[in-house]
Structure 1
């Protein structure tokens, strides 16, 4: 009885947590470069000399789906999508390096290259400043060049290069701000094998149909856990009645 109660109770709690994760994924369907979060759970025994038969459910894995999302063309100069594995490097709110796949970029009033959230996009030497009133191109390796508007003869002037990295995915952790960082706090070196495609954006890799089906399944699982608790209460009442009669 104790095993049933503890397992159903904790499993119901974590099922609600998993529904929150699925809801979070669905809410980010339209977020560029978003990586879906994955959860799984397992039952473990309660370490106790008094009630050794009790078990409860705990988070076994909080992981990320790193599959690439669908890329769509925007024909906008400052839009880039990372091809295959790899990341853009940005400066987070604490001034440290973090990684993102959101490649819809812009410039602030000072010409500093930023994400749509206002985070500075970094090169190996720091923030990148683009000259005003010039045509900007971004090549496959992340090199940023500028050409004076209307000048079709002059060669492009290199003004910076995106820092592109590809740390092992199993060493990354997602922060509360949605950015990824190394678990040990180290900074990844630039990887020349990482490439970008200018004029395109990578969509979120969340599968809306799969997520909706998963949410329905989780709702049914939660109902099952509540029913198990109800059955345990009923069985306990019956057992108490039988004990009183005997």
Structure 2
């Protein structure tokens, strides 16, 4: 019976759905994490009787045919790039983007990656880096004798140097925008990479039209809603159980046939 194969596709789909939900819940406290959602589509249909074919009597087309769906398949796992809440940290090198945009990060091999996790720090040379030591682009170098770092909403970075009254400009942070954020490739460590689906980045200054602003001393929280995730987890579990019930029912039908 085809019901076995159809129910098996349903169980596989709900297993993947649970795995996506589990990853969301696991990253509930990950800075700037974007929750994902599994998207499914129905499989091909097997036509038993095409709609619109003439009947045998007066050749009048039948109003509807007979098509049997063959199950479900995974279409995509979509990252939902909805901004999370901003939380104050009091750390002058923690930066959050309020609105659209991505910080640009230089990888170890010179590639450019993108992140919204602005938990930055200084390396041994005073350069602004991520927690993994990747350099923020454009490069910002903070002098050793700096007593205070000030970053305004438009991304301008200033340093208060000891024994100096005027602020020293250290550079200008820039943000990147993409036509399709969902098309970015997630690499882990809060980093994303450009793909043909995301389009090429448009780089601009924070606060410009279509670009967000930079908030110093804040971090963007994960956008995972624990109540929603638990609700979807229960729904996925029930769907998995219903598909398993179909397999049990088909097995009992086979048993009836074999006994007969």
Alignment CA distance shift 1:161-1:55 (3 Å): same
Unaligned ranges ≥5, structure 2 = 48-66
- TM-score, normalisation: structure 1: 0.86
Q: Give the conservation status (yes or no) of the 8 Å contact 1:6–1:54.
A: no
Which of the two has higher C-alpha Rg? 2
1:161 matched to which residue of 2? 172
Correspondence 1:221 to 2:239: yes
SS of the aligned residue for 1:211 comes to: helix
1:199 matched to which residue of 2? 217
Taking the aligned partners of 1:199 and 1:219, their CA distance within structure 2 comes to: 41
Alignment CA distance shift 1:203-1:170 (3 Å): closer
Q: Give the conservation status (yes or no) of the 8 Å contact 2:102–2:176.
A: yes
Name which of 84, 87, 92 aligns with 2:102.
Answer: 87
Taking the aligned partners of 1:28 and 1:136, their CA distance within structure 2 comes to: 30
Taking the aligned partners of 2:46 and 2:163, their CA distance within structure 1 comes to: 75
Name which of 203, 220, 225 aligns with 1:190.
Answer: 203
Alignment CA distance shift 1:47-1:115 (3 Å): farther
Choose 160-169 or 179-188, whichever is displaced more: 179-188
Shift of 1:105: 0.8
Shift of 1:80: 1.0
Deviations 1:179-199 (A, max 9, x none): 223322865131232211111
Q: Give the conservation status (yes or no) of the 8 Å contact 2:90–2:217.
A: yes
Unaligned ranges ≥5, structure 1 = none
Deviations 1:161-214 (A, max 9, x none): 222111123563232324223322865131232211111111000001111221
1:25 matched to which residue of 2? 24
Shift of 1:64: 1.3
Taking the aligned partners of 1:94 and 1:57, their CA distance within structure 2 comes to: 41
Choose 232-241 or 61-70, whichever is displaced more: 232-241
Taking the aligned partners of 2:7 and 2:43, their CA distance within structure 1 comes to: 13
**What are the residue-to-residue correspondences of 1:42-57 with 2, within 5 Å?**
42-45=41-44, 55-57=70-72
Alignment CA distance shift 1:81-1:189 (3 Å): same
Deviations 1:27-60 (A, max 9, x none): 1111111111111212212789xxx957132112
1:230 matched to which residue of 2? 248
SS of the aligned residue for 1:230 comes to: helix
Q: Give the conservation status (yes or no) of the 8 Å contact 2:81–2:182.
A: no
Correspondence 1:76 to 2:75: no
**What are the residue-to-residue correspondences of 1:95-174 with 2, within 5 Å?**
95-123=110-138, 127-134=139-146, 135-149=148-162, 151=164, 153-154=165-166, 156-170=167-181, 172-174=183-185
Alignment: residue pair count = 234
